[in-house]
Amino acid sequence: HLAASLKNFLLSPVVPLIGYFGLDNTGITELISKDSPMLQSILGEGFGHIGACYSLHYVIKSLSHIGKALKGSS
């Protein structure tokens, strides 16, 4: 469980970084959302922000694995 926890902690910053540097800074986000007000409102601050919200999944999963590891060692 500790290895899975470490993997999830390491993955948590990857998604927002890819969203921010790969899509937001290159102009892809603006290109995708410029013709659609609905997409603009969904994307909000861009894929980096969405990725940051999504990365909470990895943090919660990691804490779950730590809990399982501690419960198993008791």
SS (H, E, C) 17-74: HHHHHHHHCCCHHHHHHCCCHHHHHHHCCCHHHHHHHHHHHHHHHHHHHHHHHHHHHC
Q: Is the dihedral of CA 36, 20, 7, 65 positive or negative?
A: negative
**pLDDT score at 32:** 78
Neighbour tally for 18: CB within 10 Å? 14
Q: What is the pLDDT of residues 12-55, one digit of tens each?
A: 777 778 877 877 788 887 887 777 777 776 666 677 676 777 77
Q: Output the pTM of the full model.
A: 0.54
Residue 74 clears pLDDT 70, i.e. is over it: no
- The structure tokens 């790969």 sit at 22
**pLDDT score at 44:** 66
